[in-house]
Amino acid sequence: MRVVVIGGGPAGMMAAGQAAKEGADVVLLERNSRLGKKLAITGKGRGNLTNSADIADFIPQFGDSGAFLYGPLHRFSNDDLRCFFHNLGVPTIVERGGRVFPRSEKALDLVSGLERYLREAGVNVIFEQRAASIVAENGRVSGVTVVGRTYPAQKVVLATGGASYPATGSTGDGFKMAAVLGHTIVPARPALVPLETEESWVRSATGLALRNVNVALTVDGRHAAAEFGEMLFTHYGVSGPVILTLSKIAVDILAAGKRPCLHINLKPALSSEQLAARILRDFDKYSRKQFKNGLADLLPAKLIEPVIDNSGIDAELAVHQISREQRQRLAEVISGLTLTVKGTRPISEAIVTAGGVSTKEIDPKTLASKLVEGLYFAGEVIDVAGNTGGYNLQAAFSTGYLAGLCAARQE
């Protein structure tokens, strides 16, 4: 059995190695000069490869597409993935939120482990080979073309990734190849992506990271979603794990022509009564100071001016002159600092691409195409996109495993 795998990312490497272990003659075509270029930068270079949550809890992380991943995730689970890397000499650790990283905290160790896996399995890796098309005759694949030649194949696994981080090789080529063969492509859009805001004050807060905050997303005054965790202010708006997760919903709201709002609770551990008492204590301590100098214990320095501006209280006013009503307004701002989302960063900056080959045209039990015999899909080229926290890489590895396994087997 000759299997050609297109794409040397996590899904493609897993598919190639598994197919070879099943006895297939495997060729892996990678357009770059090295494997795992995007994997090497995941998790800020630390390699958040999966999450320690129960597999049942993975499904909701992918929204409407979660049910499609039920089979792949159970065939190759997060525990299986951790054992897989442990056996390759890459032990893992679990951090806050169940995020799993290599113990070395180096994503490059994941790439090195996968390269060893491919060598031991006997995969023929060919670099700087950008696939142009998948050849199909009489409804069945027969090869893969690159510039100047065709690689014959009885089975093809398409694992080219999405359309984010194009410098790593994810430029949407797989969508085009699948479309030529008749597959429906759900339009690509950013899924986990930083958000741009209307408010210009975020520029002065650039670089400020907040932990343990609650961020709610609303549209037309109605609650849409909420997340608890970490976020980051940037020169264009906001980013960080909480924002990236909420961005999946924000993208759809923006596509509908509406502008969602973010409401940041800076003190979610305090009830309204506790926050009021905390403000009163600080005001007693700084009663003779100006208002702008009386919030140093309560807020990060970069947020003092924005909070004061949003409260409508004169920054020069003496703290002891602030009324009860003004203190209440201050508490409301602290528990709901509002930003208006005007857009997202480009899809090229998205961590994950939503959209891709429609799951309706892929058999979830084998990841085989329902339209073209011998064609399989793995990874981000499929229309599945999960939340941040290691879920998307697990999906890539799980679909790669199952696609490689099934592609290597005779019908």
Provide the pairing of β-strand 25-30 with 124-127: parallel
Q: Which of 291, 323, 344 is the last residue of a domain?
A: 344
Q: What percent of the chain has pLDDT over 70?
A: 99
Average pLDDT for 368-384: 97
- CA atoms 260, 250, 253, 64: torsion sign: negative
The pLDDT tens digits of the residues spanning 109-129 come to 999 999 999 999 999 999 999
Are 228 and 148 found together in one domain?
Answer: no
Residue 70 pLDDT level (bands cut at 50, 70, 90): very high
Which 3 state secondary structure label does DSSP give 192? Answer: strand
Question: CA angle 185-189-232, nearest 5°?
Answer: 155
Same domain? 254 vs 376:
no
CA–CA separation, 74 vs 365, rounded Å?
11
Task: Compute the distance between CA of residue 296 and CA of residue 281 in angstroms, rounded to an integer.
Answer: 13
* pLDDT tens figures, 226-238: 999 999 999 999 9
Report, as an integer, the average pLDDT of 92-116: 96
Q: Looking at the 3D structure of the chain, how many domains does it have?
A: 2
- Among the candidates 344, 369, 391, a domain finishes at 344
Alpha carbons within 13 angstroms on the beta-carbon side of residue 278 total 17
CATH number at residue 86: 3.50.50.60
Question: Stretch 175-186: mean pLDDT, rounded?
Answer: 96
88 and 146 inside one domain: yes
Give Cα separations from 205 to 200, 265, 306 (angstroms): 10, 16, 9
Q: Looking at the structure, tell me whether residues 179 and 31 fall in a common domain.
A: yes
Query: What's the pLDDT tens digit per position in 309-359?
Result: 999 999 999 999 999 999 999 999 999 999 999 999 998 888 888 899 999
Question: For residue 168, is pLDDT > 80?
Answer: no
Indicate if 372 and 322 belong to the same structural domain. Answer: no
The structure tokens listed for 385 are: 């996109």
Please name every residue paired with 223 in a beta bridge, in sequence order, or none if there are none. 218
- 302, 365: one domain: no
The reported pLDDT for the residue numbered 120 is 97
Q: What is the mean pLDDT of residues 272-279?
A: 96
Contact in structure between 159 and 72 (CB atoms under 8 Å): no
| Mean pLDDT to the nearest integer, 202-230 | 96
pLDDT greater than 70 at residue 411: no
Question: Could you tell me if 211 and 127 lie in one domain?
Answer: no
Task: Decide if pLDDT at 8 tops 70.
Answer: yes
Q: What is the mean pLDDT of residues 362-371?
A: 98
- Domain end, chosen from 344, 375, 399, is at 344
Q: What is the pLDDT of residue 148?
A: 84
**What's the pLDDT band for 170 if we cut at 50, 70, 90?**
confident
**Mean pLDDT in residue range 174-201:** 94
Average pLDDT over residues 25-49: 94
258 & 185 share domain: no
Q: How confident is the model at residue 172 (pLDDT cuts 50, 70, 90)?
A: confident
Look up the domain containing 279 and give its range: 194-344
